[in-house]
Amino acid sequence: MNIRFYNALILTMEEGVPVFDGEVWVRDEKLLYVGSGKDKDDFFREFAEPCIIWDEEIDCRGNLLMPGFKNAHTHSGMTLLRSYADDLPLHAWLNEQVFPIEAKLSKEDIYHLTKLAILEYLTSGITSIFEMYLTPESIAEACTEMGMRCVQTGGVNNFSQSVELLEKWYEELNGKHPLLSFLPGFHAEYTCSKELLKKIAAFAKEKKAPVYTHLSETEAEVAGCKERYGMTPGMFLDSLGMFEYGGGVYHGVWLTLEEMKIFKQKGVSVITNPGSNMKLASGIAPVESFLEEGLNVAVGTDGPASNNCLDMFREMFLVTGLAKLKRMDASAIDALEVLKMATVNGAKAMMLEDNGTLARDKLADMIMIDLHMPNMQPLNNIAKNIVYSGSKQNVKMTMIHGKILYLDGKFCVPDKPEDIYRKANEIINRLKQ
């Protein structure tokens, strides 16, 4: 489908490119043209076509087009537990509330609960998710049906999943659909035996693949690893050769400077989750230190049981706000750096090389921000408006893979939202009994 967006402000997120007036052309799943529109004749000569027949032309009316947000860490099926397991410390929250009810979940349940999360992602301008949950096959099915780009990673631990399943998903989900990919991963050091972790590291080396995991989320987690192995979690995993081909760690609240230096050397991204860490009182991640050490820093919402909403605007504000508070420095982490974390850096962490920016031949994963609302005026600095005063109400459109899935408050997906809501409530009412 050929779609022309015109009369737009455009933030490409390319290094050094300011916001400009222009047009974006979409052909099928890719961006065909991103520019001012003044060079259209040159473009047509280069493209060797006299004209393009548009299926749709959209007047953006001065609103902003930019890359969609990359939610670089989430557990979509945990929509089940929103406002169900609250106001508890992390380990009590996991062991007393989350794990017992998760044990009752079926693949079909997770399929339906993932669809609920996807609706929320679309309202928040999220065009890609980095998913870690229990049944990758049913998550993949929900995402392809709803049109959501989904990178998955394993949640291997001593109690569920296995290296054999990790290999199965790695082989079956990569290349299955243009919206899907799968990368090796495990739940956490503290839920995996040393023998299991060695097997995961060996598998990653065999496939020359990156590895992803929760790491150093709480002070107690770090202390436990030191007691078991005499090392911090990052140092211990590195000693096993876990990150020989890079990867990423979720949270990293209690990472040491030594671990940061190793992660920089190994190409390990850090995905910060400020809303979840704040709500669970896990601490404030040293994001400014991550940046100073040259790490790739991305942003995730974490799951809707611990956050409780899947809102990248709130996460972006918290990234910079908490960094300023931690350093007691109001200049810490500029808003444009936060936008980079939520788009370009997220794409890098998720191995999505073709959709971090708006440029020709990149994937058409794009959002429109409504600037004609009081919280976005005046337009002194659009990037800062998005981070400091922006909200879900400003998401006018969400496009993934060249398809508009959310427009002016309405979902353009196969399922009726009310059917998805009803199914989610049926599942939680059944499992609570």
- Examine domains 2-67+364-411 and 69-349 and report if their fold is the same: no
pLDDT of residue 432: 84
Integer Cα distance of 422 and 318 in angstroms: 32
Instruction: Indicate the average pLDDT of the chain.
Output: 96
pLDDT of residue 337: 98
Q: Please provide the CATH number assigned to the domain covering 2-67+364-411.
A: 2.30.40.10
Q: Which residues contact 48 (CB under 8 A, 6 or more apart)?
A: none
Tell me the mean pLDDT in the region 420-431: 96
pLDDT in tens, 348-364: 999 999 999 999 999 99
Cα 166 from chain centre? 21
Cα 401 from chain centre? 16
Integer Cα distance of 82 and 293 in angstroms: 35
Integer Cα distance of 249 and 166 in angstroms: 18
pLDDT of residue 93: 80
Q: Which residues contact 408 (CB under 8 A, 6 or more apart)?
A: 396, 397
Which has more confidence, 412 or 86? 412
Token representation of residue 204: 């990653």
Confidence of residue 344 (pLDDT cuts 50, 70, 90): very high
pLDDT of residue 287: 98
Integer Cα distance of 242 and 201 in angstroms: 5
Q: What residue ranges do the domains of the chain occupy?
A: 2-67+364-411, 69-349
- Peptide bond before residue 375 is cis, with ω within 30 degrees of 0: no
Q: Choose the weakest-confidence range: 36-45, 57-66, 219-228.
A: 36-45
The residue with tokens 């300023």 is: 324
pLDDT in tens, 91-102: 788 788 888 888
pLDDT of residue 193: 98
- How many other C-beta atoms lie within 10 A of the C-beta of residue 201? 21
pLDDT in tens, 154-192: 999 999 899 999 999 999 999 999 999 999 999 999 999
Query: According to the CATH classification, is domain 69-349 in 3.10.20.810?
Result: no
Q: What percent of the chain has pLDDT over 70?
A: 100
Q: Which residues contact 294 (CB under 8 A, 6 or more apart)?
A: 264
pLDDT of residue 91: 79
Integer Cα distance of 358 and 68 in angstroms: 9
Q: What percent of the chain has pLDDT over 90?
A: 90
Tell me the mean pLDDT in the region 9-22: 97
Token representation of residue 220: 């107690």
- Peptide bond before residue 378 is cis, with ω within 30 degrees of 0: yes
Q: Are 236 and 216 in contact (CB under 8 A)?
A: no
Closest among 85, 145, 133 to 107, alpha carbons compared: 133
Q: Are 161 and 196 in contact (CB under 8 A)?
A: no
Confidence of residue 239 (pLDDT cuts 50, 70, 90): very high
Position 293, amino acid:
E
Tell me the mean pLDDT in the region 412-421: 98
Tell me the mean pLDDT in the region 336-342: 98
Going from the C-alpha of 62 to that of each of 6, 117, 152, 285, the distances in angstroms are 9, 30, 36, 37
Q: Choose the weakest-confidence range: 37-46, 67-76, 193-202, 286-295.
A: 37-46
pLDDT of residue 47: 76
- Is the pTM here over 0.75, yes or no? yes
pLDDT of residue 48: 72
pLDDT of residue 43: 82
